[in-house]
Every structure is written in C-alpha cells, then in structure tokens.
Amino acid sequence: MSSTRTQVGIIGAGPSGLLLSQLLHLQGIDSVVLERRSADYVLGRVRAGVLEQGMVDMLREAQCADRMDKEGLVHEGFEITFGERRHRIDLKKHTGSTVMVYGQTEVTKDLMDAREKMGGTVIYDAENVAIEDLNSDTPKLTYQKDGQTHEVICDYIAGCDGFHGVSRKSMPEKLLKEHERVYPFGWLGILSETRPVSEELIYVNHWRGFALCSMRSMTRSRYYIQCAFDEDLEEWTDDRFWDELRVRLPDEAAETIEMGPSIEKSIAPLRSFVAEPMRHGRLFLAGDAAHIVPPTGAKGLNLAASDIYYLSRALIGFYKEGREDLIDSYSENCLRRVWKAERFSWWFTNIMHRFPEQSSFDRGCQIAELDYLCGSNAAQEAFAENYVGLPF
C-alpha cells in the first residue's frame, strides 16, 4: 500500500472540489483530490448554466476566469411568461447586478486545466474512496486504483462528492439531521447546436407544465420541459420534444424558434434537501454533498461556490493565522445562506410548475402570485435580489 501526506484531502472533482483545491493552492496549501470517475465522464455531464456574480468573482480569484470573461454571456434580465403574459425581470435595474451565462462543463474544464497547469494532484478513477480515523488529528482517505490500495493522510477532509458521495454517509448518523422534499416531476433537457430563441432566458408557466429556454452560447441552446419523474427518455424523440416545447412557449417564440438535432438529452429529478450540520470534527461537507435545490432558481452550483468561499477562508485562516473560529462557524455560516437559497428555489418551483394534485384554487393562487410579481416593483426587487445571489 502506498501512503502520502497532504494538508487537505478532497473527495470529488466536481466544481466544489476543484475550486477549493485551486484556491488553497494559490495560498500555498497542499491538497489531493480523489475522483471516482474519469475526467471525460465528469466533463460529459451537462448541468448548470447560470453563474451569480459571487461565483464569477471567485473564479477570477482562482485565476481561471479568462475564458469565461471572453466567452461568457452577461445577462441583465430574463423573462417570465404565464398565460398570454410575458414579463421581463430587469436584474440590473433592481439590483445593479447581473448574472453570467457560462456552462458548468466549461467552468469544470477551466478548473481542471488550471489544476493541471499548476501541478495539482487530482486522481481520477479512484475506486472505493473511504474516510478513516475521523476522530483522530490525522484522518485519512483510502482508495483503490489499478488494483492497488493507497492512503492519503490529511489534516482536514473536504467532502465535495455530490449527493450520492461517501462523505455525508461518513458523518455519525446521530449527529446528522436531513430535511427533504421530493417533487412529483422532473425536467427533460436537451442541448442543441441552434441559435437561442431569445437573447435572454425565458421561464414559462404553462398549464401543460413548466418550460425553460436557456443557452450555452449564441449558437448553442439548452431547453427544458417539465415531465413526469418516471418518464422514459427513449420515448422522447427530438420531434416530440420540440413539439411539446413549442406548445408551451408564447406564440412569437414558438414560431421563430430554431430547431435541430439534440446533442444531449437527459432527465433530472427535482429535489430539495439539506443536511445539517455541514461539519463534524475534521470533515467538512460542501456543495451537493450537503444540499440539493431544484434547478428552477439556478442556485445549485452557486451554493457550492459559496460553501467553498466559507471553507477556503476557514482553512486559509487556520493555516496562515492559526485561527479556528472560521472552522467552528463554517457550518452555521453556510447554512444561513443555504436555507435562503432553498426557500427561493422551493418558492420559484412552486409558482412555475404544474402539480399533479393541483386544484383550481391552487392554480388561482399560483397565477395571482405571478400577477403580483409582475405588477409590483417591490416583489420584483426581492425576486431579482435572490436571483442574482444573496451576499456571501
């Protein structure tokens, strides 16, 4: 068995793990990242598309924002439609801030490239990663690769291994409280090499279900429609998808939309989930390992970035100044922001989707909520403030 020593052992090479590793490296703190999949597999997952200003600033701090600053699309607003009504939410006017449309795949690629360029240790295809000696001062990570067992002895461990990872499961069961809401539908998404139907995102509340027009660039569109949570992907041909999307869009958009073959098609379940606390001794949870939001508010990746903000500050404070206060307050600091994003994502999901048991009363309230939002400056300001991201 080979044995190595590092300061921070990181499980997971998604955006959380790579960003943490990069920020620590820039402060002279050593880390090892263990990822169960291959780099190609990680880059093949199509996920988030909207970055809050806080995350954009962190990518700049991490010195991997050059391509984002060149290719990313700055959006000053987006549209909400319901019934025959279309309403633009002006993010810039209400908050002075904007969001950046730049895919998670690209963020991950930029982080991977930066880690490689700076000689970071990221081990892909690491099987059976396990946390041991969590109650000692030197917890360790063990894993297998190419038939050999390895161990990494650490000061701290960052669990950045997503919802299905090992980190959360390694927390003592008695300590951990989990809060969950599962929604009775999913999102069917496609990516296509077509011009986006509009320069800004369009969120659609239609009686047949929610739809979203998003993009990755001015030549690559990302569209979603609400579907049953147990929908069979095989049954969704591209033609069927485009037909259903167009039925839900405002007429003008349905008539002008450019259609083309999908280059990716997948179904995502919708879930709200929070695990607390987010730290036990020398193990920290960050990103999807600790919480999930439904994608409606575009908050998942951004929350992962804010966790990494608090975690990087806590570890840098410890290694540079011997401070432990930020380590002790990590969980509380993260969770205050996490719960606000959970609330926003839950609320926006509730007003935009069709629920199976929805009564005419429920539908009336949903439309009234949208009507109020679109008619009230105060409501739009609160909405915009949450959408662009609450301060860290």
Which residues sit at the interface with ligand RFL, rule CB under 6 A?
Answer: 11-17, 34-37, 42, 47-50, 104, 126, 129, 160-162, 164-166, 187, 189, 268, 287-288, 295, 298-302, 304
330 is annotated as an active-site residue: no
In the window 298-317, what residues touch ligand PHB (CB under 6 A)?
298
Please, what is the minimum distance in Å from the beta carbon of residue 143 to ligand RFL? 8
Q: Is 214 in the site for ligand PHB (CB under 6 A)?
A: yes
| Residue type, position 82, single letter | F
**By C-beta, is 189 or 250 nearer to ligand RFL?**
189
Contact (CB, 8 A) for 303 and 293: yes
177 is annotated as an active-site residue: no
**By C-beta, is 140 or 291 nearer to ligand PHB?**
291
Q: How far are the Cα atoms of 14, 215, 345 from residue 341, in angstroms, in the given order?
A: 20, 22, 6
- Nearest CA to 227 among 243, 205, 211, 247? 211
| Burial of 58 (C-beta count, 10 Å sphere; 0-12/13-18/19+) | buried
Please, what is the minimum distance in Å from the beta carbon of residue 193 to ligand PHB? 15
* Distance (Å, whole) CA 297 – CA 279: 26
Q: Which does 12 bind (CB under 5 to 8 A by kind): ligand PHB, ligand RFL, none?
A: ligand RFL
Q: Is 55 in the site for ligand PHB (CB under 6 A)?
A: no
Q: Which does 16 bind (CB under 5 to 8 A by kind): ligand PHB, ligand RFL, none?
A: ligand RFL
* Distance (Å, whole) CA 69 – CA 6: 33
- Out of 15, 25, 75, 319, the active site residue is 75
Task: List beta partners, residue 203.
Answer: 80, 212
- Nearest CA to 116 among 240, 36, 13, 266? 13
Q: Which does 192 bind (CB under 5 to 8 A by kind): ligand PHB, ligand RFL, none?
A: none
Tell me which residue has its CB nearest to ligand PHB: 49
Q: Which does 296 bind (CB under 5 to 8 A by kind): ligand PHB, ligand RFL, none?
A: ligand PHB
387 is annotated as an active-site residue: yes
User: For ligand PHB, how many residues bind (rule: CB under 6 A)?
Assistant: 10
Letter string b/e over residues 344-368, b meaning 16 or more CB atoms within 10 A of that residue's CB: bbbebbbbbbbeeeeeeeeeeebee
* Distance (Å, whole) CA 160 – CA 14: 7
92: left (phi over 0), alpha (psi -120 to 50) or beta: alpha
* Distance (Å, whole) CA 278 – CA 66: 32
End-to-end alpha carbon distance in the chain: 42
299 is annotated as an active-site residue: yes
Q: Which does 302 bind (CB under 5 to 8 A by kind): ligand PHB, ligand RFL, none?
A: ligand RFL
Please, what is the minimum distance in Å from the beta carbon of residue 323 to ligand PHB? 37
Please, what is the minimum distance in Å from the beta carbon of residue 70 to ligand RFL? 20
196 is annotated as an active-site residue: no
Q: Is 345 in the site for ligand PHB (CB under 6 A)?
A: no
Q: Tokens 């998670």 label which residue?
A: 104
Q: Which does 300 bind (CB under 5 to 8 A by kind): ligand PHB, ligand RFL, none?
A: ligand RFL
Q: Is 15 in the site for ligand PHB (CB under 6 A)?
A: no
* Distance (Å, whole) CA 18 – CA 122: 8
**By C-beta, is 123 or 268 nearer to ligand PHB?**
268
Judged by CB under 6 A, the residue of 49, 186, 209, 287 near ligand PHB is 49
Helix pair 330-352, 377-388: axis angle to 10 deg: 130
Query: Which residues have a catalytic role annotated?
Result: 75, 203, 295, 299, 387
Site residues, ligand PHB (CB under 6 A): 48-50, 201, 212, 214, 222, 295-296, 298
